[in-house]
A and B are shown apart, each in its own frame.
Chain A
Amino acid sequence: MINENEMKLEFISKSNNEAFARITVAAFVASLDPTIEEISDIKTAVSEAVTNSIVHGYENTLGIISVNCKIKNREVTVEISDNGKGIENIEMAKQPLYTSKPNLERSGMGFTIMESFMDSLKVESVLGVGTKITMKKTIKEQEKEEAMSLEEALRG
């Protein structure tokens, strides 16, 4: 039997929605019984992408951020998109330690974290139109005892 599920989330670009987005995605993914590490990796990657939309895409102005999350068997796909200003040079933006806003103590590690915490990362961006991040991660099958409960995922 194929296990399929999908959800969509839309919220405005306020920084307190960073926590809302990552906790909601974690709760959605919890049905696959991920380990604490897997759930933590997904939450961190979602947080990085949403932060990028708020800080760089919308530059702290008001806009809508969409999170589309799909589960197919054990593979999770998370799409995070905004209608912000777009990324001029994606390759440069993805370089570790590169940041376009160094004055604000930004580490330039956002894309590096997304890339290494998830199995794959795709960045599509059009200047003046917006940016879409697509990330995939397969949740490994495991012993029941190690699995994280929905309750724990929500608490974390």
Chain B
Amino acid sequence: MEIKFFEDQKLLIFKITEEIDECKVKEIRRRADYEIERFMPKRVVFDFDSVTFMDSAGIGMVIGRYKQAAMLGGQVYLANLTDSVRKIFAMSGVLKLIPEVKLYNDEEFAEKSTEFYDKEDFTEEKEVSL
């Protein structure tokens, strides 16, 4: 998992690079909680662009961080969901609770990251099929 924090925007980004299952989720959870407590971000983004596999362990992980960030005054967002990841989040109702946003890559990201797309616009662009 790659972690970036943008101080001026109080924006914390977790780019998950591992497969998300019961085995790997413990370490993701531990590191995410540590960084959220350390930075107290206003916005926490989980970037799923590099996630090649996720099972239901991802649901609990995201909801857990949503609660933790909320306790410290922050909001969680989900970015770059792949079709298979979105299928699991949609099924569990996570997408009704946590907004899906668009995120730009690497260098571009810092300056454009405030441009969170409206959820409606986004789902129009990438049709969800279940």
Q: Are B23 and A109 in contact (CB under 8 A)?
A: no
Supposing A44-B84, A107-B60, A109-B59 touch, asked if A156 and B22 sit within 8 A by C-beta, the answer is: no
Residue B72, interface by CB 8 Å:
no
Q: Are A48 and B29 in contact (CB under 8 A)?
A: no
The 5 lowest CB-CB distance pairs between A and B, nearest first, are A105-B60, A15-B23, A107-B59, A47-B55, A40-B84
How far does the Cβ of B100 sit from chain A's closest Cβ, in whole Å?
A: 18
Q: Are B92 and A18 in contact (CB under 8 A)?
A: no
A47 to B55, CA, bound (A): 7
Q: Are B21 and A18 in contact (CB under 8 A)?
A: yes
Interface residues as binary, A102-135 with B (CB distance below 8 Å gives 1, 0 otherwise):
0011110110110010000000000000000000
Q: Is the interface of A mostly helix, strand, loop or mixed?
A: helix
**A36-B84, A107-B63 are known contacts; what are 12 more A-B pairs with Cβ within 8 Å?**
A16-B23, A18-B21, A44-B54, A47-B22, A105-B61, A105-B63, A105-B64, A107-B57, A112-B91, A113-B55, A113-B88, A113-B91
Interface size on B, residues (CB 8 A): 21
Q: Are A105 and B29 in contact (CB under 8 A)?
A: yes
A156 to B21, CA, bound (A): 14
Q: Is the interface of B mostly helix, strand, loop or mixed?
A: helix
Residue A148, interface by CB 8 Å:
no
Q: Are A54 and B55 in contact (CB under 8 A)?
A: no
Residue A19, interface by CB 8 Å:
yes
A136 to B104, CA, bound (A): 40
